[in-house]
Chain A
Amino acid sequence: MSWPESIYTTLKALDVRQVAYVPDGGHATLLRLLHDDPALRCVPLTTEEEGVAMLAGAWLGGQRGVLLMQSSGVGNCVNMLSLVRTCHFPLLTLITMRGEYGEFNPWQVPMGSTTEQVLRLMDVQVLRADVAEEVGPTVSAAARMAYLGGTPMAVLLSQKLVGAKVFTE
Chain B
Amino acid sequence: MSGLLPRTLDRRAVVARVLAGRRDLAVVSGLGAPTYDVAAAGDHERNFYLWGAMGGAAMIGLGLALAQPETPVLVITGDGEMLMGFGALATIGAQRPGNLSILVLDNGLYEETGAQLTHTVLGTDLASVAAGCGITDTVTMDHMEQLGGFAERAHRLGNAPAFAVARIAPSHALKVLPTRDGAYLKARMRQSFGQDIG
Contacts and interface: CB of A to CB of B under 8 A. Distances in A.
Interface stretch (A1-9, A25-33, A60-68, A122-130): A60-68
Contacts of B59: 50-51, 53-54, 57
Interface string A38-66: 00010111110111111111111111010
Interface stretch (A86-94, A106-114, A136-144, A158-166): A86-94
Q: Classify the secondary structure of B's interface with A.
A: helix
B28 A57 contact: yes
Given A45-B87, A46-B90, A63 B66 contact: yes
A80 B55 contact: yes
A57 B67 contact: yes
B158 interface: no
A23 interface: no
B154 interface: no
B60 A60 contact: yes
A16 to B, nearest CB: 12
Interface residues of B, number: 39
A59 B190 contact: yes
A57 B91 contact: no
A83 interface: yes
B7 interface: no
A79 B53 contact: yes
A46 B91 contact: yes
Interface stretch (B36-44, B109-117, B168-176, B179-187): B179-187
B182 A58 contact: no
B28 to A, nearest CB: 7
B52 interface: yes
14 contacts: A43-B91, A43-B94, A43-B95, A46-B91, A50-B56, A51-B59, A53-B59, A60-B63, A62-B67, A62-B193, A80-B55, A83-B56, A86-B51, A87-B185
Interface of A: 17-18, 20, 41, 43-47, 49-63, 65, 79-80, 82-83, 86-90, 150
